């Protein structure tokens, strides 16, 4: 008998007699039986230490009923595992690919995956990050969906810093394409040049026509420096790793590194 199914709504009634009087003690049955009655191990596709964290989350009372039902339906456990693996394999593009990964699931498997996403999304490394509602639109809807899905965490860190927000929105609005020229930054930390007080190395890649009589590289330089005094520092102080310029450039680096530049071809 699976203790969580149906039992989550029941109460354990224990009679405790003391001095001839009966005292009643109540407790949720699901918490008692969860570990013995649903097995999330085969649903999880994570292969590292996060696997145990994801499994533990799925076997809590709030999700055990759903996992237990999946355990009882032929093909459900394997289907959820394969969908989870598909989403993980998509890496930073998981948000875009998730719907495709779920395409072959039956109703029970779809419900189980949805519960995993809803209750254990972070623990199971699913794409549950949501960009702040004030985020600027990056190009057209296809371009925006790609960048905000792939670089959600980077964008949110930027928008926590008003100077970064101003820099990023300057780049998007003024530099000819959503994030300026195509030049992919070196494999070195993209903030190294900024931390040393200068522009990123990619700025030396040559001129790219920005369509406004200038160049996109010049536009990027302008946006990165225009708001420099909005983030006051002691004279001579080297910019910290989380400086507004570094945060803004990290969003751009993420977008190109994940291939979202190709999703913005219509804006060239």
Distance of CA 29 to the CA centre of its chain: 34
pTM for the full model?
Answer: 0.70
Mapping DSSP to helix (H, G, I), strand (E, B) and coil, where does residue 179 land?
A: coil
CA-CA distances (angstroms) from residue 131 to 93, 142, 153, 160? 15, 16, 7, 11
Q: Which two tokens stand for residue 234?
A: 């002691």
Confidence of residue 31 (pLDDT cuts 50, 70, 90): very low
The tens digit of pLDDT for each residue in 202-258 reads 433 344 344 444 466 677 778 877 876 666 565 555 555 558 888 888 888 888 888
Domain ranges of the chain: 7-120, 141-231+239-263
Please give the backbone phi and psi of residue 68, each rounded to the nearest 5 degrees, phi first.
Answer: -60, -40
**pLDDT at residue 125 above 50?**
yes
């Amino acid at each position: 008998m699976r203790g969580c199914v149906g039992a989550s709504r029941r109460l354990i009634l224990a009679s405790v007699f003391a001095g001839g009087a009966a005292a009643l003690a109540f407790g949720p049955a699901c918490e008692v039986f969860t570990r013995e009655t649903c097995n999330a191990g085969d649903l999880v596709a994570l292969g590292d230490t996060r696997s145990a964290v994801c499994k533990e989350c799925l076997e809590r009372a709030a999700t055990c009923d759903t996992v237990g039902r999946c355990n009882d339906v032929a093909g459900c456990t394997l289907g959820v595992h394969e969908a989870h693996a598909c989403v993980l394999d998509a890496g930073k593009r998981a948000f875009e690919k998730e719907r495709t990964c779920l395409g072959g699931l039956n109703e029970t498997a779809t419900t189980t995956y949805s519960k995993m996403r809803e209750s254990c999304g972070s623990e199971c490394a699913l794409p549950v990050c949501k960009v702040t509602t004030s985020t600027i639109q990056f190009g057209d809807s296809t371009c925006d969906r790609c960048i905000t899905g792939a670089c959600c965490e980077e964008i949110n860190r930027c928008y926590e810093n008003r100077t970064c927000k101003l820099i990023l929105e300057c780049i998007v609005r003024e530099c000819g394409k959503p994030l300026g020229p195509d030049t992919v930054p070196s494999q070195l930390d993209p903030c190294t040049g900024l931390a040393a007080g200068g522009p990123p190395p990619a700025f030396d890649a040559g001129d790219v026509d920005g369509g406004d009589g200038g160049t996109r590289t010049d536009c990027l330089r302008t946006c990165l420096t225009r708001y420099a005094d909005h983030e006051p520092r002691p004279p001579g102080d080297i910019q910290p790793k989380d400086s507004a310029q570094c945060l803004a450039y990290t969003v751009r680096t993420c977008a190109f590194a994940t291939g979202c530049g190709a999703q913005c071809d219509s804006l060239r």
